[in-house]
Structure 1
Amino acid sequence: MMPNTAPVPKTYEDLIRLIHERYDDMSKTYQRISVYLTQNPNDVAVQSVNAIGEKSGIHASSFVRYGQALGYKGFKDLQVLFQVRLTTAAPGFDARVKALDDELGDRADDSDSSFLRDLVVRDIASLQALMSAISATDLGKAADLMQAADTIYLVGQLRSAPVVELLRYILTMLSKRTVLLDSAGGLATHIAKTMKPTDLLIAVSFRFYAVEVVNIVEEAHARAVPIIALSDSTLSPLAKSAAVLFAVPEHEYTFSRSLAAPMCLAQALTVALAARLQPDRQTPRIPVVTEP
Structure 2
Amino acid sequence: MATQKAMVGGRRREAMGYGLPKTYEDLRAVLASGAMRLPKRLRQVATFLAQHPSEMAVGTVSSIAEKSGVKPSTLVRFAQTLGYSGFSDLQGIFKQYVTGSWPEQRERLSPPDHAATSKDPNFHLVLGLANASMQSLARVAETIDLAGFAAVVKALAEAEVIYLIGSKRAFPVTTYLSLALAQLGITNILIDNVGSTAFAQIGCTTPRDAVLAISFSPYNSITPELAAAAAERGTPVVSITDSVLSPLVSLSAAWIEVIESEFGGFRSIAATIAVGMAVVLAVAKNNRPSRN
Matched with 2:54 is: 42
SS at match of 1:99: coil
* AA of the residue aligned to 1:204: I
Matched with 2:263 is: 253
Structure 1 residues 242 and 109, CA gap change in structure 2 (3 angstroms)? farther
Structure 1 residues 81 and 46, CA gap change in structure 2 (3 angstroms)? same
Tell me by how many angstroms 1:110 deviates: 3.5
Tell me by how many angstroms 1:23 deviates: 7.2
Q: TM-score, normalised on structure 2?
A: 0.85
Rounded to whole Å, the distance in 2 between the matches of 1:103 and 1:24 is: 49
Rounded to whole Å, the distance in 2 between the matches of 1:152 and 1:140 is: 16
- Are the equivalent residues in 1 in contact too, given 2:128–2:263 (CA < 8 A)? no
SS at match of 1:234: coil
Q: Residue 180 in 1 paired to residue 197 in 2?
A: no
Tell me by how many angstroms 1:210 deviates: 4.4
Of the candidates 28, 31, 35, which is equivalent to residue 19 of structure 1? 31
Tell me by how many angstroms 1:59 deviates: 2.0
Tell me by how many angstroms 1:256 deviates: 2.0
Structure 1 residues 105 and 67, CA gap change in structure 2 (3 angstroms)? same
Q: Which moved more, 1:203-212 or 1:26-35?
A: 203-212
Matched with 2:176 is: 166
Q: Residue 9 in 1 paired to residue 21 in 2?
A: yes
Q: Which moved more, 1:3-12 or 1:29-38?
A: 3-12
Rounded to whole Å, the distance in 1 between the matches of 2:87 and 2:265 is: 31
Tell me by how many angstroms 1:22 deviates: 4.9
Tell me by how many angstroms 1:174 deviates: 1.5
- Are the equivalent residues in 1 in contact too, given 2:215–2:241 (CA < 8 A)? yes
* AA of the residue aligned to 2:196: G
- Are the equivalent residues in 1 in contact too, given 2:227–2:251 (CA < 8 A)? yes
Tell me by how many angstroms 1:35 deviates: 0.6
Q: Residue 127 in 1 paired to residue 137 in 2?
A: yes
Rounded to whole Å, the distance in 1 between the matches of 2:198 and 2:69 is: 35
SS at match of 1:228: strand
Q: Which moved more, 1:158-167 or 1:23-32?
A: 23-32
Rounded to whole Å, the distance in 2 between the matches of 1:226 and 1:103 is: 50
Q: Which has the higher contact order (CA 8 A, sep 6+)?
A: 2
Matched with 2:74 is: 62
Unaligned runs of 5+ in 2: 1-7
Q: Residue 32 in 1 paired to residue 20 in 2?
A: no
* AA of the residue aligned to 1:89: S
- Are the equivalent residues in 2 in contact too, given 1:189–1:212 (CA < 8 A)? no
Matched with 1:99 is: 109
Q: Which moved more, 1:14-23 or 1:180-189?
A: 14-23
Tell me by how many angstroms 1:216 deviates: 1.0
Matched with 1:76 is: 88
Measured against aligned partners, the alpha-carbon deviations of 1:122-154 in whole angstroms (never above 9, x if no partner) come to 111111111123222222222222211000011
Unaligned runs of 5+ in 1: 279-292
Q: TM-score, normalised on structure 1?
A: 0.85
Of the candidates 221, 230, 248, which is equivalent to residue 238 of structure 1? 248
